[in-house]
Amino acid sequence: SQQGEEDPQALSIQEGENATMNCSYKTSINNLQWYRQNSGRGLVHLILIRSNEREKHSGRLRVTLDTSKKSSSLLITASRAADTASYFCATGGMDSSYKLIFGSGTRLLVRP
């Protein structure tokens, strides 16, 4: 990946458990966005957190951002089988277009 790594690369949990995914990046950012992708399909926007924010919630999702460590985490609480997907973090930089640079993704499997 151009930007960094996501950890773990793959995660298998039981329905009802929480899932935590971590993302590290290399450069200064304006924002960080998390996406979900079901196998070979579109990227669904989950949440955006700006560089001056530390934590954000949306439903069962909680995102944290630590700009000093250049890292972010996505927590999915009370997971469901339908949460099975790949999750990508993507950083929007400080350049002219705020293009997104994606991490390598975490493949999440939620077992029913």
Partner 1 sequence: AAGVIQSPRHLIKEKRETATLKCYPIPRHDTVYWYQQGPGQDPQFLISFYEKMQSDKGSIPDRFSAQQFSDYHSELNMSSLELGDSALYFCASSLSYGNEQFFGPGTRLTVL
User: What residue ranges bind partner 1 (CB under 8 A)?
Assistant: 1-2, 30-31, 33, 35, 40-45, 48, 88, 90, 92, 95-105
Residue type, 65: L
Instruction: In angstroms, give the least distance from the CB of 19 to partner 1.
Output: 19
- Close Cβ partners of 30 (under 8 Å, ≥ 6 residues apart): 50, 51, 92, 93, 94, 98
By C-beta, is 15 or 47 nearer to partner 1?
Answer: 47
Q: Please, what is the minimum distance in Å from the beta carbon of residue 80 to partner 1?
A: 22
d(CA 29, CA 67): 8
Query: What amino acid occupies position 20?
Result: T
Least distance in Å: CB of 37 to partner 1? 9
